[in-house]
Amino acid sequence: MCFCSFLFLSIGYFLTHSCFVQLDIHKTKILTRLEAAATTASLQLDGNQLEYLQTSYHKKNAIKTNDQDRIYQLLQEVLLEIKELKKV
């Protein structure tokens, strides 16, 4: 009786531990992909354009449509290209 309890507790522990190890592996993989996408974006985006948008549109949701501002539209196109490139 005692051996069976120990066996079931051991199996439960190892299954739980294995699950958490797998979750950590997947989390690391996703974070690595996000870091690669962020690095790609930072290299392709123009800081002056971002600064222009921040100074021109102070309030949240100030830009209602994608074609309201040409700079915004250009940045959106770059981000969509990056999104397509990072799909694997």
Note down pLDDT in tens along the chain; length 88 residues: 677 888 888 999 999 999 999 999 999 999 998 888 888 888 888 889 989 998 999 888 888 888 889 999 999 998 888 888 777 5
60 and 27 in contact (C-beta within 8 Å)? Answer: no
Residues contacting residue 69 through CB under 8 Å, at least 6 positions apart: 53, 56, 57, 63
What residue segments make up the domains of the chain, in order of their start?
1-44, 46-88
pLDDT reported for residue 82 = 83
How far CA 20 is from CA of 6, 11, 33, 44, 71, in Å, comes to 21, 14, 20, 36, 44
Query: Does the model's pTM come out above 0.85?
Result: no
